[in-house]
Amino acid sequence: MRSPLARAQGLGSAKGGVKHWWAERASAVALVPLTLWLLGSIVAHTGGDYATVIGWLKTPLASLSMIVLLLALFHHTALGLQVVIEDYVHSDAKFAAVIAVRLGCLSLASAGVVATLQIAFSR
């Protein structure tokens, strides 16, 4: 988003702030329908037994939506928590905390996707 002139003059931040800002917004927009779908589905399956819930998660639309939701959700979470850390942690622990958040979000998203696929392809 930086103008060619600003880039040439070396103005503005040399880091990834613009990319971070846009990724946070893009994931936020994606999460509006995805999270409402999840909440609606949970409400619709209130009191449902194991077979009912698995039957719902096994449908291709639910599996796909859940996987996209997990990716967008943990991407948004990693970006957001990074800002929180950068605002309050000013010691050397900042770097370690950001890395821990990123690895944690990556692991949780992966675990969620694996679980969803396991359900989707279960008999």
* Sites of contact with other proteins (CB under 8 A): 25, 28-29, 32, 35-36, 38-39, 42-44, 46-47, 50, 53-54, 57, 66, 70, 73-74, 77, 80-81, 84, 108, 111-112, 114-116, 118-119, 122
Under a CB-based contact definition with an 8 Å cutoff, are residues 47 and 19 in contact? no
Q: How far is the CB of 111 from other proteins (least distance, A)?
A: 5
Under a CB-based contact definition with an 8 Å cutoff, are residues 70 and 113 in contact? yes
Q: How far is the CB of 9 from other proteins (least distance, A)?
A: 25
Under a CB-based contact definition with an 8 Å cutoff, are residues 116 and 63 in contact? yes
Which residue, 73 or 97, is less far from other proteins as judged by CB? 73
Under a CB-based contact definition with an 8 Å cutoff, are residues 81 and 101 in contact? yes
Structure tokens at 68: 């996209």
CB-based contacts of 66: which residues, under 8 Å, 6+ apart? Answer: 38, 57, 112, 116
Q: How far is the CB of 2 from other proteins (least distance, A)?
A: 17
Q: How far is the CB of 39 from other proteins (least distance, A)?
A: 6
Under a CB-based contact definition with an 8 Å cutoff, are residues 66 and 118 in contact? no
